[in-house]
Structure 1
């Protein structure tokens, strides 16, 4: 048995060859319809965004962390909706705020 820093069995969480464990948040996501391709908070504040992310729990669209407002992360902090996806054609990039990594 392999223990982590908290003394918990880490064997079941480990991936193959030391890979990061699979994010189970993506298994729990419903199918959602995205909101309009704009960050409402940025528009209200007269700000621009670098790129947009869509919440995969409710479809809320907001600016990414590298934008001035970082409203997608603020949405996660307010709602605990864990995964956001880059809004764009053919984009497969998804971010889990809980695990702080791409999934």
Structure 2
């Protein structure tokens, strides 16, 4: 299926956690999925805010929550949230048993003080 309005439902997510945090040994609060290329990045409350960085660098305008039980989308172009949208390639979220924040072995004891 072709990409339409920044969403490509055929592209699977890049992994179970934030790609940049995983590569650099960081941690995240919540995860977001690029609806165009599947890149998983950490949310704006997370210390590194990789999902927004990805959107800016790539020009990909739409993210979807990558949290279990959440199906909302965010449009950077319109600066607005949509309660639902097209179904994306599975999985729809990180594993339900993956801790939040995560990954558990890299979250500092004072993590709540480090949120944005």
Q: Give 4+ residue runs of structure 1 displaced > 6 Å after superposition.
A: none
Q: Name 1:78's counterpart in structure 2.
A: 57
Structure with the higher fraction of residues in helix conformation: 1
CA distance in 2 between counterparts of 1:27 and 1:78 reads 17
Which runs of structure 2 are paired with 1:20-59 in the superposition (5 Å)? 29-31=7-9, 32-59=11-38
Asked whether 1:68 is paired with 2:47, we answer yes
Highest relative contact order (Cα 8 Å, sep 6+), 1 or 2?
2
CA distance in 1 between counterparts of 2:53 and 2:30 reads 15
Aligned residues: 78
Instruction: Return 5+ residue gaps in structure 1 as ranges.
Output: 1-25
Structure 1 residues 35 and 93, CA gap change in structure 2 (3 angstroms)? same
Question: Residue 98 of structure 1: CA displacement?
Answer: 1.1
Instruction: Return 5+ residue gaps in structure 2 as ranges.
Output: 83-116
TM-score by length of 2: 0.61
